[in-house]
Amino acid sequence: MKHNLSALRIFVSLACLAAYPLLIAQEELNVERGYTPGQVKPIPVSLSGFSGEVEQVLKFDLYVVGFAFTEPDAAHYQISGSNNGNVQGRVTDPHNKATPTLLSKGYSGATLRRQAHAFADDIVFAITGKKGIAQTKIACKVLSSSASEGNGEIYVADFDGHNPQAVTRDGTIVAAPCWVPGHLALYYTSYKLHHPDIFYHNLSTGARRIFARYGGSNMSPAPSPDGNEVAMILSKDGWTDLYVGSAGGGSPLRLTKTPQDESSPCWSPDGRWICYASKERERRSLCKIPASGGTPERIPTGGMPNPTEPDWSPDGKWIAFTSQAGGFSICVVPVGGGPATQLVEGEDPSWAPNSRTLIYARRQGGRYVLSLLDVPTKQIKDVSRISGSSNSQPSWAR
């Protein structure tokens, strides 16, 4: 084994040296091979010429997708520019003498902040070939104060917590907002009618309607990737079970029939599976079941006990979840099998469209704050407080 590896190494070294200038893709996360969560080194870049809010935004946006900041001579890429009036900038690769400039662009209109976010996305694309997340949105639950009888509102905001907008103004208990993929619409649970009902809320028009108001509690809505169906936890038949209903209405299909408590369904990106938290005897586990019905299979979370609140990455490869053992921690496990990795203290993760950044909630005193985690590098940033005293149950628009 060792001999073969040595020979391979020599061959590969020669090949690499010969083609070094073509290694612009060096920074691409080698998705085909997979990676070890938390063990990937960030891409070192330098940032110069920017100031104030623009500099802050660029640093934040790049950090949470796996970049780190160094002096120019240690950087793999140099990002320079200015923000006098408008943002303009360029990205250069100092090791590429032939074609050093990856990006050179100016921005105008809107606000400096939005220009900076657009630039950040362009930087990410120029360097990695992947789409950025700097212009995406999140939704969450906001508790007004600690003594509010559990009442709160649903909010949406930029992924970094800025530009918050209240979606509801009901002064009641709300829970578990979840975006309709590709649409400006949410499902959530609200107790507005003195009962936990699932609402559909169109954020473009502001119109909303009751989606599920069955007897018992209607909880944890999760629209399918094509938006045509909604998975949810209902107790209308006397047990807390997983159901799937058509977005247009009608009798939902019952997928589980167990006296145990199922919770937190989420979909595979191809729409074929629903993953959810389950309990078998006394043991909590994650399961997946065909979305059209069938036999559930357990998803092993090897060593990470009491998994709940799963979320399936948009690229189909990972499930992020909360593990509870004393405290709570954010973990990821490869869908195809393999060890789960514990990453940070926190709960209730939601994947960004880039399948590497997670938003999650962590406890701070008696309330929750939202944070972002770049899974490959384990870099973390807190999201700005959106409103109220506690922000939890985040959902990333995908």
Site for other proteins in 289-308 (CB under 8 A): 302-306, 308
Among 71, 149, 226, 297, binds other proteins (CB under 8 A): 149
3-state secondary structure of 362: strand
Contact flag: residue 209 with other proteins (CB under 8 A): no
* Residue 353 beta carbon to other proteins: minimum distance, rounded to whole angstroms: 18
Positions 42 through 101 that interact with other proteins (CB under 8 A): none
- Six-digit token pair at 27? 């920074």
C-alpha of 220 from chain center: 17
Separation of alpha carbons 35 and 43, rounded Å: 15
Q: Does 3 bind other proteins (CB under 8 A)?
A: no
> Which of 96/384 has CB closer to other proteins?
96
Q: Which of residues 316-375 bind other proteins (CB under 8 A)?
A: 322-326, 328-329, 338-342, 347-348, 366
Point out which span in 30-38, 67-75, 108-116, 223-231 binds other proteins (CB under 8 A): 30-38
Helix (H, G, I), strand (E, B), or coil: what is residue 235?
coil
Give yes or no for residue 210 binding other proteins (CB under 8 A): no
Whether 396 and 138 have beta carbons less than 8 Å apart is answered as yes
Q: In the bound complex, what is the minimum distance in angstroms from residue 248's beta carbon to other proteins?
A: 20
Site for other proteins in 6-25 (CB under 8 A): 8-9, 11-13, 15-16, 19, 22-25
Show contacts of 112-115: CB within 8 Å, 24+ apart. 112/53, 112/54, 112/83, 112/86, 112/87, 113/53, 113/54, 113/57, 113/162, 115/54, 115/83, 115/86, 115/87
Binder to other proteins among 238, 248, 250, 336 (CB under 8 A)?
A: 238
Closest CA to 75 of 34, 45, 43, 39: 45
Closest to other proteins by CB, 207 vs 210, is 210
Instruction: Kindly state the smallest distance separating residue 347's Cβ from other proteins, in Å.
Output: 5
First to last CA, the chain: 44
- Per CB under 8 A, 144 contacts other proteins: no
| CA distances for 251 relative to 23, 122, 202, 245, angstroms | 55, 45, 22, 7
Phi-psi region of 49 (alpha: psi -120 to 50; beta: other; left: phi over 0): left
Residue 211, beta-bridge partner list: none
CA proximity to 307, closest of 367, 356, 272, 349 = 349
Does the protein bind other proteins through residue 4 (CB under 8 A)?
no
Q: Which stretch binds other proteins (CB under 8 A): 42-50, 70-78, 111-119, 216-224?
A: 216-224
User: Does the protein bind other proteins through residue 150 (CB under 8 A)?
Assistant: yes
If one asks whether residue 215 binds other proteins (CB under 8 A), the answer comes out as yes
Is the Cβ of residue 31 or residue 110 nearer to other proteins in the bound state? Answer: 31
Find the part of the chain contacting other proteins (CB under 8 A) among 26-34, 62-70, 115-123, 243-251.
26-34
Neighbours of 261 (CB within 10 A): 14
Among 260, 316, 381, 384, binds other proteins (CB under 8 A): 260
Among 136, 263, 387, 389, binds other proteins (CB under 8 A): 263
Which x/- pattern over 112-131 shows residues binding other proteins (rule: CB under 8 A)? Answer: --------------x--x--
